[in-house]
Structure 1
Amino acid sequence: MDSLVAVTGVTGDVGGKTLDKLRAAGVPVRAIVRRTDQADALRARGVDARVADLGDPQSLAAALDGADQLFLITAATTRQAEHGANGVRAAQAAGVRAIVQLSGGDAAEHSPLPWASAIWQIDELVRSSGLEYTILHPSGFMTNLESSAPALRRGIFPQTMGRGRIGWIDTDDIARVAATVLAAGVHAGEEPVLTGPALLDGRGIAESLTAGLGRRVRYLHLPSRAFAGMLRLSGVSSWQAEGLRRQFGRVARLGLDGVDALTSDVERLTGTPARPMSAWAHDRRAVLLGED
């Protein structure tokens, strides 16, 4: 189906990769960004870019004019639920036919994680919007492990998840699914759960990193509050550090809200299996180990 796809969050990981994959497939795509300089940089690459803010429904509706589908990506902030609601309402106002919502594998109404409860609220609005939709529920992003790079260079992976297991996924696989779904343009309320090929606990992550980096990495278990303190020292906000403490110290450890799900939905939807963490780590060796 040859229809214009609008994408928010294109300056982020999943949004940027999805934009590139859609363009490579010849799908007409429009990037929605917050700043003029971001739009100018995208236009210099030949991308249709519009300036709008998820905090401003009117500007967003104008930016979505003429779009057939919206890939809605919202950042994990204190305003995430508001931004998602604005995205849904702007799509309705602009006459968008369908929404693909980037949710999460842990979306839950009463989650102790602020972003998990926020995306649940957005999911509910998408379901009741009257628009066609697909909701993607990815597991933990492997990319988030890059914040542990300084420790990995010392041969340790400090975490607080213990034996809790997550089906960690390469964000490139999420983008492959999103681009495939958007390129097809067919939406029937499906909500695939996107995971990597294995459930990994803290030690499993360390073993996968060891295999991919060719250097021994040892899991170092931290009490959850010590983990949050480490995050604060690295520059993470108190709001996010507390959320991550709960995410790994409670939700992941106890397997709450479906975080220990394992599926083959990536392969089912794209024809290619999800990549293992060892392959991801090998490709990201320069970033993780600070090597050229």
Structure 2
Amino acid sequence: MKALAHSPESAQKLSGDNVQVVIGDVRNDEDVRDFMQGVTSLFMLTPPAEDQVEVQNKLVDAAVESGVDSIVKLSVYTAADDSPCGFSRWHVVNDRYIAASGLDYTILHPHSFMQSMAVQFAGRIRANGIMEAAVRPDAGITMIDVRDVGAVAAQVLLENNHQNETILITGPEEVTYSGCAAQVAEALDTSIEYRKVSVDEARANFVADGVPGWVADSLVGLHFMYDTGLLNPRIDTVRRFTGRPARTFSDYLADNLADWR
């Protein structure tokens, strides 16, 4: 197994038995070509970026040129041309590019990550005990633990028999933002108030916390979809691929409470 990491810190996280970690830049054509040598199946995951479509399409081109047989790509469940979330609009462009590449492919569409909740809200909760978002308190979201996404991706790569499929991955339950706040409060033995705010207020909060404007725009686009109940399926993909149920938000919280402290 070979992994391309963008920094020594990332390389350390990816290191393990039978893993050859290469440090390189996905925007550097030479780094990418060198990495692709000997690769037969490519798992593609790149961080959100304003040039995401260009970066990911170039990775597909490099895979074709290097003789890679198949691609498993981590996309998003909201991928669509008309999505209010910029990330989702970018992903669907690359999803189609992969499908037209001639390579065997599997596209993974995970729901929103449980781990992203702490990234978005823990700082303000620590500061004032308040969690604010442009989402109804009772809006159910079938969010998924990233560890379960990784487990499904690993099985897809190992089984190598899901060619030209798109696989939706969701959590086992509908979690509300108010319920999330209540569970975190109980686990921390503190009080957390959940408030629904306007889209403009939610965006301003993210920007004030140092989030780039283009990222804040995508985050409040997701909030809109949660608030309106769009695209909120529940499918037992994790059990189908791993033989065990997907982790609940309570399971996630028990293992990641330090992220909220």
Same topology, TM > 0.5: yes
Partner of 2:218: 243
The amino acid that maps onto 2:179 is G
Distance 1:201 1:158 in 2: 13
Partner of 1:145: 117
Aligned residue among 159, 162, 180 for 2:133: 159
The amino acid that maps onto 2:201 is A
Aligned residue among 146, 163, 171 for 2:146: 171
The amino acid that maps onto 1:86 is K
Query: What SS is found at the alignment partner of 1:192?
Result: strand
- Could you tell me how far 1:60 is from its partner in structure 2? 1.1
Q: Classify 1:166/1:42 alpha carbon distance in 2 versus 1 (closer, same or farther; 3 Å).
A: closer
Aligned residue among 82, 97, 103 for 2:69: 97
- Could you tell me how far 1:287 is from its partner in structure 2? 2.0
Unaligned runs of 5+ in 2: none
- Could you tell me how far 1:185 is from its partner in structure 2? 2.5
Aligned residue among 110, 129, 132 for 2:104: 132
Q: Classify 1:246/1:42 alpha carbon distance in 2 versus 1 (closer, same or farther; 3 Å).
A: closer
Task: Say if 2:220 is the partner of 1:270.
Answer: no
Q: Tell me if the contact between 1:213 and 1:281 (Cα under 8 Å) persists in the aligned partners.
A: no
Structural mapping, 1:206-225, within 5 Å: 206-210=181-185, 212-213=187-188, 215-225=190-200
Partner of 1:18: none
The amino acid that maps onto 1:159 is A
Query: What SS is found at the alignment partner of 2:211?
Result: coil
RMSD of equivalent CA atoms: 2.2
Query: What SS is found at the alignment partner of 1:88?
Result: helix
Distance 1:264 1:244 in 2: 26
- Could you tell me how far 1:50 is from its partner in structure 2? 2.4
Distance 1:202 1:43 in 2: 32
Query: What SS is found at the alignment partner of 2:166?
Result: coil
Structural mapping, 1:114-125, within 5 Å: 114-125=86-97
Partner of 1:56: 28
Query: What SS is found at the alignment partner of 2:3?
Result: strand
Alignment deviations for residues 195-246 of structure 1 (CA, whole Å, 9 cap, x no partner): 1111223223224434555555432211111111111111111111122122
The amino acid that maps onto 1:252 is Y
- Could you tell me how far 1:51 is from its partner in structure 2? 3.6
Task: Say if 2:43 is the partner of 1:71.
Answer: yes
Q: Classify 1:285/1:34 alpha carbon distance in 2 versus 1 (closer, same or farther; 3 Å).
A: closer
- Could you tell me how far 1:63 is from its partner in structure 2? 1.0
The amino acid that maps onto 2:242 is T
Partner of 1:3: none
Q: Tell me if the contact between 1:157 and 1:219 (Cα under 8 Å) persists in the aligned partners.
A: yes
Alignment deviations for residues 71-123 of structure 1 (CA, whole Å, 9 cap, x no partner): 00121110111111011111111111110000111100122221101110111
Q: Quick check: 52-61 or 39-48, which moved more?
A: 39-48
Distance 1:193 1:204 in 2: 24
Q: Tell me if the contact between 1:212 and 1:280 (Cα under 8 Å) persists in the aligned partners.
A: no
The amino acid that maps onto 1:272 is R
- TM-score (structure 2 length as normaliser): 0.89
Q: Tell me if the contact between 1:70 and 1:99 (Cα under 8 Å) persists in the aligned partners.
A: yes
Q: How many residues align?
A: 257
Distance 2:159 2:243 in 1: 14
Distance 2:82 2:11 in 1: 41
Q: Tell me if the contact between 1:55 and 1:82 (Cα under 8 Å) persists in the aligned partners.
A: no
The amino acid that maps onto 1:191 is T
Distance 1:209 1:278 in 2: 9
Unaligned runs of 5+ in 1: 1-28
- Could you tell me how far 1:134 is from its partner in structure 2? 1.1
Distance 1:229 1:214 in 2: 29
Query: What SS is found at the alignment partner of 1:285?
Result: helix
- Could you tell me how far 1:40 is from its partner in structure 2? 7.0
- Could you tell me how far 1:64 is from its partner in structure 2? 0.8
